[in-house]
Structure 1
């Protein structure tokens, strides 16, 4: 926006549509003047009525607009030339991947940490190598928004009148912190050492201030060895970390004079203070410019120091840098790139297989001092790695992906050398690279971006290495510059007031308040003196509809964490429909030809009545701006209250009971209306209604009555609900989670991974990592992936249930080996992504299988129980869990598994009796252990081998005696529950999947 003049905040064009159908608001318009530099002459290109679209990531210049101002543009195979009416060439743009680009000095301004224009011109005039631009187009602080945000200052400190005459004669030091965010290496402080003569700066990252003495000794040994000189004077403030007896004794022994400032007079150590300010400003600009989170402050500071050492300063002679005074060599800066630029990191062939991707996407956060390479942040693993084979895409639209070479020898400044001990927070802490010690070929590298559209060239090419052929980018690369993502979502109301989408968000807020009024949710009242008032908050969200249009959602919620138990709320529990019940209803729908419809209540929680008196603060909005000392007395529940879900469930339960539906005795979220001719089953899952019925008129009557009570939407036949895809065919119903699997694979960069036939190796044994301080497991999103897989395993994928249960034991003690086996599970899901549950007509009635694997857990020698119940040809209920008691024999383990599965079987049998009125139905349970069957079937079978078994496990005997279940033997080769107790070979695995009714859908 700072490039525009004559700005108009009421533009004629209010919004634009980009290539991906995203609608972007236009904030203002104005006149643009571009200064170009051609053949040593400067020219101005004027374009009127230019639109300012804040959410566009690239400045786009229309050729037609240039021509409309009396200019002409000529294109050739290398680029294009712009001529004015006098036929003077006033601009030149190079063709890169289908896009014509004007090179501007602002790129160097950003690469160098938003350096000021004076120092930037010094770099161009010979202070360093590799920097060139038109100095007449240089930026200034006032023209750069990031500089204004990151560098606003107070008056400067007075300069010292004396200056040293050689390196190490005087060293300035200061510590900065604690920072509000812990860095990736757990640091909260950084420590600076500045050589007064050369202005060479060195930074260390500390977890605690008491590490200062340790790092000073490291610094002293390092610089004195490199410079062959001794430190004479150390100047610091009066901080305890610098004035400790340990530090003073050491300085005295080394003959170093310690100059300290007066208390509360930091200006006497002005150089350190000024450097601190300058470094923080650069680092702040880096983070703002890259839109990074604050925990990356250490990387930004490290890069700021790196650049500070390689740029001129007013206190040393002209066209000289600290780096040159320290090393005697001019620094080369042609390898610098903008902080935060996307980077494609080459995956070594040792870390991938033949058809694996050859690159992984990360973000550039700095330059390594000890290794010739770039420092990259991996947002998936949340760690820093150093690599030399990279492609930097400096601008988000820069598909040319410049290849960079670093040949400069670096001095030991910036961040200290790596140490073996892990107590310091140095470059080692910030550059943890998972997988370095592993020889596995597919451990740390994979990516969703195709490497076939780019060449990955080594950053340091050996002279004997032949030139690599450069592959031409596809033609459509250039069109990518016209695409843009949706803008971010505001956090507070004040963010909306400064947002270009202010009108849309305000309309969303008004719509939300309207729903509260229509629902009679509250009444305005005076603030009570002796009551707690719950705070309120706006939550803003953007959603895309099926056509790709943006929908703005604003939701007013209560801050439930401010409620007091016993005053603002009592009971909070609210049930939801069990997944096994949902699957049973689907299986029953196939058998009875029931229709399945999905209903949704958009503002469900607003319908619940409160038993307690709750007051809520007035929300931020224009509707309540003149309501001082007023609060809202809630008549009904609102989102965020601890009892809202319970209040809603009680309300909807009461409504269905009044409509003549019977609440199930076995499932609190199931309501039944059944006779000889009519069957209607309603399952509740928070604000979702799942209706299974065989009579259309009864369903229409139900809808009519529900609409009178609630705002409800009929979403039609079930297709997508609870994360599952449901497809109804003439003779079967399939249930799968293909889309959810695709989301998992994409989230963890495994979309293009290789495939595995089984989810886990046979007889896999892993050790739990006890050392909590071990770095080996840090950086891997192990627990996040386990959580995603658990959701998948309990809904539609019993084939991974045992593997997920087994690997979840190591949530608090994993390393790279565990992560490798977890990734294998993703590879199996990639192969079986089309698998799901297939329910068929005319299939068997409800029956179950149960199995146990004796003492299979190497951690505690407990056994695994696995059971599954099948109806209509597919699984309706299943579980894989470790037994709570150590079994002394395989018979005992199988007997305890029988008891556990019996409980679930009785529940399903009773539920089915309620649904289809078949009280005499018999449930058959199959086991492959004849000894356990005899113990369960014969109450007289009691000897010293079974007398110690807990009485709770003898529940199965009672069920057999009462003919509630019947236990029969089946061969181990025909036992599908075996897949729930152990990992199997490929042949058995897919055989048992078929027996469970899990196949391609």
Structure 2
């Protein structure tokens, strides 16, 4: 399940014709489970423990957030369609071309059937759109290490996690296998080449015969030339400003960086992970069919053994690594999949909690979080981005500081009226931006939810504007709300806010003072709970201000995008204290106070926000 725990369903029925697996809520109910649905999320509980979660998708169905265990590791499965299976392998293989995926499927190397035509992939456009085409050179090499191509890519513009700014690649012409090294500076090229040369020649028992590079100083230093001369390596250099003469290395770098851009776009990871992505890209290129070697894979030609795809996972998908921190502690920790560790039978994971890379074999993967049209569309990978960026970067947020002319009671109204200025790079600043951005469907759904809440609370009546009355304007404020990592998903919130700063004292409002609970009261309450071993509960009132009754007649324009047909000239006569109005905090407090006192609660004389109630049996709240 979403929490990494394996659960088994009993009394299931097998219907081969069904394209999707279905879970019966009535059966769960009969087995003592209970379920609730709110804001498009269905939660199934046993006692106080949430054991299943699903998100509402098409056809009013909820898609379960889960994985299917298949051995040492688990692979996400939701009875995928052919399109989904194709996308899954396309992303697992680092956005391999459609021809490459089809070729591997024909050979029976990819688990599952159903590889079909690959639909449009936006991440491939971002990562691979071409401008020029290199000519293709031909080398009649007879074996490995006869002819090596090399090139240095960089500077990256963004240092990697390890501080690297350059990528040095070596390509074997016969097998087209590629190796990559990540360097902090150009002067490290010679030592990297020497280390790679010793390693590769000891592994194969062969020696490098030809080396093709450009004529950059990093490849033509005195020590580099001396080494090649002493080892009998023939040098082939390009003419200045003619990278096409080093076509194999240049094209390989382009292929690697295209995959890096695709994967970073798909995963929504910060650019400082580019080296990890590039390393994974090289690993996948070595497992991918190449036209230059008759559609064989570099690893197959190099080693003589066919490639194995059973352990491939989508880069940056959520990964739950097994831990054992105590009998009552969680059995897994949520990480981000960062590729494959060379020479180790395990997966490379980034742990946002302690900001470290860990290697683990006991991992449960949730690859469905990365497939666009499945249950976690766009939300989980963006949640991962939020988690990772929050751990890596020091977020800077501008504090809301209203002008001195605003009284304390106006803080809420002021904050809501300037909310679009905060995180302006993440959220739309107005209705037009919300309906035209890439997340327009999510924002529209959020606005519809807000309107349903407003109508449910009977917030206003549509009326003709009386003569002599002015209209208060309104606006939409948008916010992405982060949930608890691994429990709640990223939510898109839209709030309709009245522009209360245009209200006139004595006409649109009178008193605005509203008490706020003191910190000392909260500390005292917690002390009493601990001293007497009491039960402590906390709750949140949704759209709290909409519970407050207005005492003045306030007329507001109709919300943008939700103007009632044939009543375009009508205005909203507010019945409830909408967010943004100056008197909203006070009206909410008055409503809350009247409710508490009507239920025999007494208000503290020391703090107007503290209430207590003594019961006849001596207990108290």
TM-score range, shorter chain: 0.5 to 0.7
2:269 paired residue number: 292
2:303 paired residue number: 327
2:39 paired residue number: 21
Q: CA deviation at 1:542?
A: 4.8
1:718 maps to 2:505: no
Q: CA deviation at 1:168?
A: 0.5
What is the CA–CA distance in structure 2 between the aligned matches of 1:204 and 1:344, rounded to whole Å? 29
Of 163, 169, 173 in structure 2, the residue corresponding to residue 186 of structure 1 is 163
Q: CA deviation at 1:489?
A: 3.1
Q: CA deviation at 1:242?
A: 1.0
1:242 maps to 2:219: yes
Per-residue Cα deviation, 1:786-809 (whole angstroms, up to 9, x for no partner): xxxxxxxxxxxxxxxxxxxxxxxx
Per-residue Cα deviation, 1:84-110 (whole angstroms, up to 9, x for no partner): xxxxxxxxxxxx999654353221111
2:342 paired residue number: 369
Q: What stretches of structure 1 of length at least 5 have no aligned partner?
A: 1-17, 24-56, 65-78, 80-95, 402-486, 508-517, 520-537, 556-600, 607-703, 743-838, 842-1000
Q: CA deviation at 1:154?
A: 1.9
Q: CA deviation at 1:488?
A: 9.4
The size of the alignment, in residue pairs, is 390
Q: CA deviation at 1:308?
A: 0.2
Instruction: Judge conservation of contact 1:168–1:231 (CA < 8 Å) in 2.
Output: yes
Per-residue Cα deviation, 1:482-536 (whole angstroms, up to 9, x for no partner): xxxxx9933788975434449979x9xxxxxxxxxx99xxxxxxxxxxxxxxxxx
Of 483, 494, 503 in structure 2, the residue corresponding to residue 551 of structure 1 is 494
Instruction: Judge conservation of contact 2:318–2:336 (CA < 8 Å) in 1.
Output: yes
Alignment of 1:259-278 (within 5 A): 259-278=236-255
Q: CA deviation at 1:62?
A: 3.5
Of 236, 252, 271 in structure 1, the residue corresponding to residue 229 of structure 2 is 252
Instruction: Judge conservation of contact 1:303–1:366 (CA < 8 Å) in 2.
Output: yes
2:281 paired residue number: 304
Cα 1:354–1:328, aligned 2, differ >3 Å: closer, same or farther? same
Instruction: Judge conservation of contact 1:719–1:727 (CA < 8 Å) in 2.
Output: no
SS of the residue 2:293 aligns to? coil
1:386 maps to 2:363: no
1:150 maps to 2:127: yes
What is the CA–CA distance in structure 2 between the aligned matches of 1:214 and 1:98, rounded to whole Å? 45
Cα 1:248–1:489, aligned 2, differ >3 Å: closer, same or farther? same
Cα 1:491–1:228, aligned 2, differ >3 Å: closer, same or farther? farther
What is the CA–CA distance in structure 2 between the aligned matches of 1:98 and 1:290, rounded to whole Å? 19
Q: CA deviation at 1:549?
A: 8.8
2:118 paired residue number: 139
Instruction: Judge conservation of contact 2:479–2:492 (CA < 8 Å) in 1.
Output: no
Cα 1:542–1:109, aligned 2, differ >3 Å: closer, same or farther? closer
Q: CA deviation at 1:540?
A: 6.4
2:329 paired residue number: 356
Instruction: Judge conservation of contact 1:542–1:553 (CA < 8 Å) in 2.
Output: no
1:340 paired residue number: 316
Q: Which has the higher strand share?
A: 1
What is the CA–CA distance in structure 2 between the aligned matches of 1:175 and 1:713, rounded to whole Å? 70
Cα 1:282–1:193, aligned 2, differ >3 Å: closer, same or farther? same
Per-residue Cα deviation, 1:635-663 (whole angstroms, up to 9, x for no partner): xxxxxxxxxxxxxxxxxxxxxxxxxxxxx
- The root-mean-square deviation of aligned C-alpha atoms, in Å, is 4.8
SS of the residue 2:368 aligns to? coil
Q: CA deviation at 1:714?
A: 4.2
Per-residue Cα deviation, 1:545-593 (whole angstroms, up to 9, x for no partner): xxx99335899xxxxxxxxxxxxxxxxxxxxxxxxxxxxxxxxxxxxxx
Q: CA deviation at 1:180?
A: 2.2
What is the CA–CA distance in structure 2 between the aligned matches of 1:492 and 1:215, rounded to whole Å? 49
Q: CA deviation at 1:131?
A: 4.0
Alignment of 1:626-665 (within 5 A): none
Q: CA deviation at 1:203?
A: 0.5
Cα 1:709–1:277, aligned 2, differ >3 Å: closer, same or farther? farther
Q: What stretches of structure 2 of length at least 5 have no aligned partner?
A: 1-35, 42-53, 62-67, 69-74, 377-423, 448-470, 483-490, 540-603, 607-620
1:490 paired residue number: 427
Q: CA deviation at 1:130?
A: 4.3
What is the CA–CA distance in structure 1 between the aligned matches of 2:212 and 2:477, rounded to whole Å? 51
**Superposition misfits of 4+ residues, deviation over 4 angstroms:** 57-61, 96-101, 397-401, 491-497, 502-505, 552-555, 706-715, 724-729
2:147 paired residue number: 170
Cα 1:380–1:712, aligned 2, differ >3 Å: closer, same or farther? farther
Instruction: Judge conservation of contact 2:187–2:218 (CA < 8 Å) in 1.
Output: yes
What is the CA–CA distance in structure 1 between the aligned matches of 2:176 and 2:165, rounded to whole Å? 25
Q: CA deviation at 1:228?
A: 0.6
SS of the residue 1:396 aligns to? helix
Instruction: Judge conservation of contact 1:719–1:726 (CA < 8 Å) in 2.
Output: no
Q: CA deviation at 1:378?
A: 1.6
Cα 1:98–1:148, aligned 2, differ >3 Å: closer, same or farther? closer
SS of the residue 2:124 aligns to? helix
Instruction: Judge conservation of contact 1:172–1:194 (CA < 8 Å) in 2.
Output: yes
SS of the residue 1:146 aligns to? helix
SS of the residue 1:105 aligns to? helix
SS of the residue 2:369 aligns to? coil
What is the CA–CA distance in structure 2 between the aligned matches of 1:291 and 1:63, rounded to whole Å? 28
Cα 1:257–1:400, aligned 2, differ >3 Å: closer, same or farther? same
Alignment of 1:259-658 (within 5 A): 259-318=236-295, 320-347=296-323, 349=324, 352-396=325-369, 489-490=426-427, 497-501=436-440, 541-542=479-480, 550-552=493-495
Per-residue Cα deviation, 1:426-451 (whole angstroms, up to 9, x for no partner): xxxxxxxxxxxxxxxxxxxxxxxxxx
Cα 1:400–1:501, aligned 2, differ >3 Å: closer, same or farther? closer
SS of the residue 2:212 aligns to? strand
Instruction: Judge conservation of contact 2:77–2:368 (CA < 8 Å) in 1.
Output: no
Q: CA deviation at 1:377?
A: 1.5
Cα 1:714–1:343, aligned 2, differ >3 Å: closer, same or farther? farther
Cα 1:148–1:253, aligned 2, differ >3 Å: closer, same or farther? same
Cα 1:105–1:542, aligned 2, differ >3 Å: closer, same or farther? closer
Cα 1:204–1:125, aligned 2, differ >3 Å: closer, same or farther? same
1:746 paired residue number: none
Name the TM-score, length of structure 2 as normaliser.
0.54
What is the CA–CA distance in structure 2 between the aligned matches of 1:495 and 1:217, rounded to whole Å? 54
Compare CA radii of gyration and give the structure with the larger one. Answer: 1
Of 195, 207, 216 in structure 1, the residue corresponding to residue 184 of structure 2 is 207
Instruction: Judge conservation of contact 1:146–1:288 (CA < 8 Å) in 2.
Output: yes
Per-residue Cα deviation, 1:54-74 (whole angstroms, up to 9, x for no partner): xxx98955499xxxxxxxxxx
Higher relative contact order (CA 8 A, sep 6+): 2
Q: CA deviation at 1:324?
A: 1.1
